[in-house]
Amino acid sequence: MSNESAPVDPQHFRQVMGQVPTCVTVVTALVDDVPQAMVIGSFVSVSLDPPLAGFFCTITSSTWGELRNADVLGVNVLAADQIDVSNACMRAPDERLDGLDWTLDGGAPRIANTSAWIRMTHNQIIDAGDHEFALCNVVEMSIPANAIEPVIFYGGGYRTLRPQD
Q: What is the pTM of this model?
A: 0.90
Is 18 within a domain?
no
**Pick from 117, 108, 38: nearest CA to 77:** 117
- Taking only the tens place, the pLDDT of each residue in 67-123 is 999 999 999 999 999 999 999 999 999 999 999 999 999 999 999 999 999 999 999
Is 13 within a domain?
no
- Taking only the tens place, the pLDDT of each residue in 13-68 is 888 878 778 899 999 999 999 999 999 999 999 999 999 999 999 999 999 999 99
State the amino acid at position 72 in one-letter form.
V
Which DSSP symbol is given to 77? E
Burial class from Cβ neighbours inside 10 Å (0-12, 13-18, 19+) for residue 20 reads exposed
Q: Which domain holds residue 116?
A: 23-153
CATH at residue 95? 2.30.110.10
Q: End-to-end distance of the chain based on CA atoms, in angstroms?
A: 48
Is 12 within a domain?
no
Per the document, the length of the chain is 165
